[in-house]
Chains A and B, each alone.
Chain A
Amino acid sequence: MFKELDPLLHSQLRLAVMSLLLGLDSAEFVFLKEKTNATAGNLSVQLDKLSEAGYILIEKSFHGKKPLTTCRITKKGIKAFEDYVNSLKGYIKS
């Protein structure tokens, strides 16, 4: 029996973001954009999805006049990520 893969994580950009955040305390939007090569619009949409699911926390603030978006992974996000990787293992072994 294969465990179903979390559809929220089984998408290239969202998985990339979650993998990045897993190793970091926090990361700014620009950093995530640079590392994933995503467009700002697409990234923004995907971040909102992850945030709505409670997988990440998005903080919006200002740095001088520039808006600053900082993301960090939540405990729920870490758990979901671990579950996702465990399910993946099932697929790889078979």
Chain B
Amino acid sequence: MKPENDTLSPQQSLDLIASMISQAKGNVRDSSFYYLFWGWVLIIAHLGSFVLNKIGFEYPYAVWLIVIPAWIVSFIYGKRQRQTQKRAITHLEKINITLWVSFGVLAIVIPFFGNFINYQINPLILLVGSMATMASGVILKFKPLMIGGVIFFASGLVSFFFTTEQQSLIAAVTIALGYLVPGYLLKSQK
């Protein structure tokens, strides 16, 4: 960049603005790690809970404790990324992060209120997940994720008609189709 005293013509000013704005825009970080990582963690948790239920384990939900180390891994990964990658956050990135952190908090809190909602935890979380997945798809302008949002929505509604045990299976399949597959597609795109 030339010294600041250079006089700019109006056209030069506009060109400079346009070029800088496009520089800032082209900064969408590769977020596929989170989709793949959380996709697998949640599928394992749902399948684990299904299997433990089947074999009559007293606390099948204990398998959900794996989300604690998963949060820690996610957090450390995010921190490392911020250290090594380009150091600017776009508004959309911030919205996307807030969206998923809010979803994460909700998914942790809702189960504690299960008795108030007849333990229809899985359908509820799938439905809220459909909003987050759809919104992420729009933010990233990535159609497979938007379709994923629709899949979450449909299976959220459908799973009301099934038992908690069956809901785990439905959720695992939903996450695989609506979250993991888009995650892999997102990764292959980069």
Contact = CB atoms under 8 A, between A and B. Distances in A.
B4 A46 contact: yes
B4 A25 contact: no
Interface in B125-141: none
Interface residues of B, number: 28
Interface in A33-88: 34-38, 42, 46, 63, 85, 88
Nearest to A70: B87
Nearest to A21: B24
Interface residues of A, number: 31
Contacts of A36: 1, 20
A27 B82 CA distance: 11
Contacts of B16: 12, 15-16, 19
B25 A23 contact: yes
18 contacts: A12-B1, A12-B4, A13-B4, A19-B16, A19-B17, A20-B88, A21-B24, A23-B21, A23-B24, A23-B91, A24-B24, A25-B89, A26-B89, A27-B88, A35-B20, A36-B1, A42-B3, A92-B14
Interface of B: 1-6, 8, 10-11, 13-14, 16-17, 20-21, 23-25, 27, 83, 86-91, 93-94
